[in-house]
Structure 1
């Protein structure tokens, strides 16, 4: 009978605490923990506020080397209006991170992985960093978690055990396209593209991307991008170098060089600083009789970047989002009609993607891609190029010039296998420019369907698209067909 009275008393005290209007809480040991949270004793708080403080306190302890900390109230006294109690906090055993143990078939340097995940030897254990492991691994195109991370506590140390499965993310591919010949009716023009992407170079997360594209006769484009995570213990930094070359028949040659350094704010967010050098060599005559408004320019700019990505799978996302933004400003020197002058120029870019799925095999993709360029003087050869497989399907590659544009994509995907799907899409564009010799705007759109399916050695893709604009009516005669094979290894 005695234990029943004790149990009844505890229930009555619990009821009193739950219904009390105010708690007056004292603490006699470990006051520094309470002060570290921004509070001072004695505390006069409501029950709801105390529950929030409890959660905040334990979370703080778990992320600062005390995963087994406990917190309770002792010596309760009072009534339904005011209850006085003593806070008893026990941090218990201090735990520090030890090494990372990696199992599986992913060739990766454990020191790089530890720095990337911020699981650093001899630093205080942090439950938050352990919880972020899955999201961070999902951002790597070449690795996948085969099972949930495990933490082994022994002798005041925490060993994080990971089982990683290799993803074939390195790729090389070529795409062949057949487009209507604009100079000769009833004939086709062959276009081509070659891509190479190598991930996890030297087992340290470095990557190299290179692609070459023959858009049409006498017009070519090349892009190179190198990414190097620095792997510093105290600063999760990476730097990138990019080179872009565009030759437009005999009119001009553009050269764009970018260097950026990025800092990881969280497991899914990065902020960066970039330096950009853009130079355009006008190869056509630049005199008053020139019909095409091209000009020789030299532009140096500085800017900021921001990235936020939270995808369930880097290569084949079913849910999540990705946002990339960039804003730059700088001075431009330009020459036309043998006159040299200066102009202030600003630019911005935005890429937003949202994935959602329903009935397991069905995925919806919504994408918005925008770009903005403004200066007192702009030439055609400075503008962005829109159109083609990677920007606005249903049109020739780089069909449109634009200083400001937005392309919205809605796409439905049906996955009949994990990495194979059918798709149908609609894309709406809003494009405009204002250059020295005129201005233009249009709202082209494209619609189409296609298939991507995985084979033993790579990915095969086929896209059929129709486009509609002021100078291209919707017609099967103007259909764009792109097919290619991506070899993955």
Structure 2
């Protein structure tokens, strides 16, 4: 019996979306040529491309065999992946007995230059003279290499108390399609007015060197975008002020989310966020600001201040049809503020719904937040209104 000769996998051809960034084929899907032909491995690797937000398969990949070559044909079309997200929070202002309004605008531009790049712009305001602006960009597989770079600018202003500006640069390497490791440098500077009355805030300059492990995977659906991710960052910071030469600090962040699909109509969503700043002394203007739609609902955006916090978001979701789901809300948080010798446990609960409309996904969540062992008070409830539109 004559033994079959091994074949080489020699060519990858893309039909339809001719400007598809080929670096994703080589470094994201790990499809390379020439290599020994292994049919099952090749077809399995093509499936990872289905996770990309900016591309769709219009036809099942095909293999073509010739006497001296083996070719793979990918039938891909470009998909709109730009996202606009607008959020408004409506609540009562207990100090003035007025309606308080807070929220943010988020613009995510993806693959508009057919490079797989991502540009993100976010603006936040919490209704208490606090504003935050984030501008981030990510360039994958620079110069067709496995290295990706990200850079960003963050501006945070708290009325006339202080203003923080930070820039970062991150380089990352994909281990697999869903896993990467990265290193980054962040430069942060804070300014305070000369007539500053808050003695817990002081102008400073800081350098932060950190390393990150990141895992992310997205399961797309008509209404529910179900991301699974785990991102852990740890690093060292060096803070300088006029009164202190250098203060060494340790900084860590952990973010994770997962959706448990119980059945076609029932699912359970869980998301966690933890941040730690360890230092021998603290400044009010360097502490974390959290609270709001993205970590613990039922509280004003960025209204809570801590050097350590951990939040947990949970939702039980029931989807009677592909265009709507109803969800419960049960969130919890623990935080410490060593500057004020303060620690507390927070809770929030409520109900929500998400609707697929012609304009996009409309989310309504009514949530009540409880802290400091307070009793439930209906006026403390916040109505979160979010619109997510792809274009």
Query: Would you call these one fold, judging by a TM-score over 0.5?
Result: yes
Report the equivalent of 1:252: 162
Shift of 1:172: 2.0
Shift of 1:268: 1.5
Report the equivalent of 1:36: none
- Provide the secondary structure at the position in 2 that maps to 1:134: helix
Q: 2:255 aligns with which of 335, 342, 351?
A: 351
1:95 and 1:161, CA in 2 relative to 1: closer, same or farther beyond 3 A?
A: same
Shift of 1:108: 4.4
Quote the Cα distance in structure 2 between the aligned partners of 1:102 and 1:144: 12
1:475 and 1:102, CA in 2 relative to 1: closer, same or farther beyond 3 A?
A: farther
- Provide the secondary structure at the position in 2 that maps to 1:349: strand
Quote the Cα distance in structure 2 between the aligned partners of 1:136 and 1:461: 29
1:273 aligns with 2:166: no
Q: Deviations over 1:321-346 (max 9, x none)?
A: 321111111311123xxx23211111
Q: Deviations over 1:152-171 (max 9, x none)?
A: 33233332233345544212
Shift of 1:318: 7.8
- Provide the secondary structure at the position in 2 that maps to 1:114: helix
Q: 1:174 aligns with which of 76, 86, 102?
A: 86
Quote the Cα distance in structure 1 between the aligned partners of 2:73 and 2:319: 32
- Unaligned runs of 5+ residues in structure 2 are none
Taking the TM superposition and a 5 Å limit, the aligned residue runs for 1:85-234 are 92-103=5-16, 108-115=19-26, 116-125=28-37, 127-138=40-51, 140-146=52-58, 148-164=60-76, 167-185=79-97, 187-230=98-141, 232-233=143-144
Quote the Cα distance in structure 1 between the aligned partners of 2:222 and 2:138: 18
Q: 1:367 aligns with which of 271, 277, 280?
A: 271
Report the equivalent of 2:367: 465
1:364 and 1:292, CA in 2 relative to 1: closer, same or farther beyond 3 A?
A: farther
Higher helix proportion, which one? Answer: 1
Shift of 1:373: 0.6
Shift of 1:317: 6.0
1:239 aligns with 2:152: no
Report the equivalent of 2:385: 483
- Provide the secondary structure at the position in 2 that maps to 1:401: strand
Higher strand proportion, which one? Answer: 2
**C-alpha contact 1:463 1:481 (8 A) present in aligned 2:** yes
Q: Deviations over 1:334-363 (max 9, x none)?
A: 23xxx2321111101101112111221211
Shift of 1:270: 0.4
**C-alpha contact 1:294 1:379 (8 A) present in aligned 2:** yes
Quote the Cα distance in structure 2 between the aligned partners of 1:474 and 1:141: 42
1:321 and 1:328, CA in 2 relative to 1: closer, same or farther beyond 3 A?
A: same
Quote the Cα distance in structure 2 between the aligned partners of 1:422 and 1:166: 32
Report the equivalent of 1:409: 313
1:217 and 1:406, CA in 2 relative to 1: closer, same or farther beyond 3 A?
A: closer
Shift of 1:421: 2.2
Quote the Cα distance in structure 2 between the aligned partners of 1:396 and 1:89: 74
1:333 aligns with 2:240: yes
Report the equivalent of 1:16: none
**C-alpha contact 1:251 1:284 (8 A) present in aligned 2:** no
Quote the Cα distance in structure 2 between the aligned partners of 1:382 and 1:314: 39
Q: Deviations over 1:251-277 (max 9, x none)?
A: 111112111011010122101111111
Give the RMSD, CA atoms, in angstroms. 2.6
**C-alpha contact 2:6 2:37 (8 A) present in aligned 1:** no
Quote the Cα distance in structure 1 between the aligned partners of 2:356 and 2:319: 11
Report the equivalent of 1:282: 192
Report the equivalent of 1:313: 220
Quote the Cα distance in structure 1 between the aligned partners of 2:303 and 2:14: 51
Relative contact order: is structure 1 or structure 2 higher (C-alpha 8 Å, sep ≥ 6)?
2
Shift of 1:131: 1.3
**C-alpha contact 2:223 2:356 (8 A) present in aligned 1:** no
Report the equivalent of 1:381: 285
Quote the Cα distance in structure 2 between the aligned partners of 1:355 and 1:107: 34
Quote the Cα distance in structure 1 between the aligned partners of 2:209 and 2:186: 6
1:450 aligns with 2:352: yes
1:439 aligns with 2:341: yes
